[in-house]
Structure formats: C-alpha cells, structure tokens
C-alpha cells in the first residue's frame, strides 16, 4: 500500500516525477482520489506553505512544489470525472486580477467537472469585466472567482459591481473562494456564495443551479 506521507514528502521536494509515480501507485492500490488529495498532495502543499511563510522555502521551491502538485492532481482528474454525467450547468471560473495562484482554482474546476458541470476556465489574472463578459457570452449560470492574496480578493467586489452596472447581476450566481476569503467577506462584497474548499464549491454550484 502506498504511504501517503511519501507523496507529501516528494511534493515538498518538488519531485514531480516521483509524485506522479506514487499517485499512480496509490490509484492502483485502490485508494480514493479524496484520500490521495487530502492525505498526500494537500498535506505536502500545506507544509510548503508554512515553510514559505517563515522563509524556510523560497519562491522557486514553491514553484517546483506547485508543479509536482499539478502533476499529481492531474492524474486524479480521471477519477473525479464521471464520463456518463451530462453537463448540468455552466460556470466561468478564474483567479482574480493580479493573482497567479491556480492550484486551488484547478481543483475547483476538477470537482465541478466531476459533478457534470461545464467549466469555462478563464485562467489567472482575470479582471472583473472579463469574468462578467465571458459569463454573458457563454450564457453561464455561475461566475466563480478564486483569490489567494489579500491584495487581489478586492477584485471580487468589482465583479459584483461590473455585473450590476451591466444590468445582469440577477442573471448570475457569483461564487467566491480562496484562502483569504470567508463568509463575512462574501457578504461585504455582495457575492452570493462562499465555498471553503473545492468539493463544497462543486456542491454549492449544483445547489445554485437546481
């Protein structure tokens, strides 16, 4: 049986190839995607975050760890997506303007696709007008904004404001999330839904559409 701590340790060292092999092994051992994600990949990334905070690791170390995280989570995607599920709704998703963090956003995308939602991924550094214009163009029901920086979460207020100015606010459920975001921030910017993690983001999206 694969030791999830080995996945965590390899991720912390940024060893993408090893992470990939260990995740493949864990899948072959019959572990669930959630177990591998929470106990291995996210465990390792949390430690990287703590060490980054106290200057024990630096930006290049975090970048290689992020690459290893993406290599591992990409393999889990197949397990999270049920081919038989028909798209039940459309979401435009992105990381807010000025923000390049995309690991959490990518997990949200995977979980939403796993629930049968069609996700239009706008990428990172997405401005308020781009979120809203894409939602109009794509005829989406949900605008989902991720932010990891206290300096970029303010763009979420601009998304709400821009939708109001365009007269389309009532057409969309605006969902917000990311490490510095919480329920009271969601209320302060006038968004509709806050989700603390990728799995609840997918559940909340389904609930908002139905």
Residues at the contact surface with ligand B1M, assessed by CB under 6 A = 42, 45-46, 48-49, 52-53, 59, 62-63, 66, 98-105, 107-108, 144-146, 148-150, 175-180, 195, 197-198, 201
- Identity of the residue, 55 or 84, whose beta carbon is nearer to ligand B1M in the bound complex: 55
- Identity of the residue, 22 or 174, whose beta carbon is nearer to ligand B1M in the bound complex: 174
Smallest separation (angstroms) from ligand B1M to the CB of 128: 14
User: Could you tell me which residues come within 8 angstroms of residue 78 by beta carbon, excluding any fewer than 6 positions away?
Assistant: none
Helices (H), ranges, the chain: 4-12, 16-28, 33-36, 43-53, 59-80, 103-114, 128-138, 155-165, 183-189, 198-209
Smallest separation (angstroms) from ligand B1M to the CB of 201: 4
- Identity of the residue, 62 or 120, whose beta carbon is nearer to ligand B1M in the bound complex: 62
Smallest separation (angstroms) from ligand B1M to the CB of 30: 23
| Other Cβ atoms closer than 10 A to 175 | 24
92 DSSP assignment: E
């Amino acid at each position: 049986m694969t030791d999830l701590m080995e996945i965590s340790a390899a991720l912390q060292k940024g060893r993408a190839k090893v992470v990939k092999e260990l995740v493949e092994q864990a899948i072959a051992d019959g572990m669930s995607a959630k177990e591998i994600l929470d106990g291995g990949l996210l465990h390792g990334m949390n430690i990287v975050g703590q060490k980054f905070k106290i200057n024990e690791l630096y930006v290049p170390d975090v970048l290689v760890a992020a690459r290893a995280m993406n290599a591992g989570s990409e393999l889990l995607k197949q397990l999270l997506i049920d081919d038989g599920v028909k798209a039940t709704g459309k979401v435009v998703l992105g990381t807010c303007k000025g923000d390049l963090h995309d690991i959490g956003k990518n997990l949200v995308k995977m979980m939403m696709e796993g629930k049968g939602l069609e996700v239009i991924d706008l990428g990172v550094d997405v401005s308020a007008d781009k979120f809203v214009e894409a939602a109009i163009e794509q005829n989406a029901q949900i605008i989902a904004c991720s932010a990891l920086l206290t300096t970029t979460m303010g763009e979420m207020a601009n998304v709400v404001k821009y939708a109001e100015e365009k007269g389309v606010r009532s057409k969309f459920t605006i969902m917000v999330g990311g490490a510095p975001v919480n329920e009271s921030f969601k209320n302060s910017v006038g968004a509709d839904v806050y989700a603390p993690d990728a799995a609840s983001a997918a559940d909340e999206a389904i609930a908002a559409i139905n």
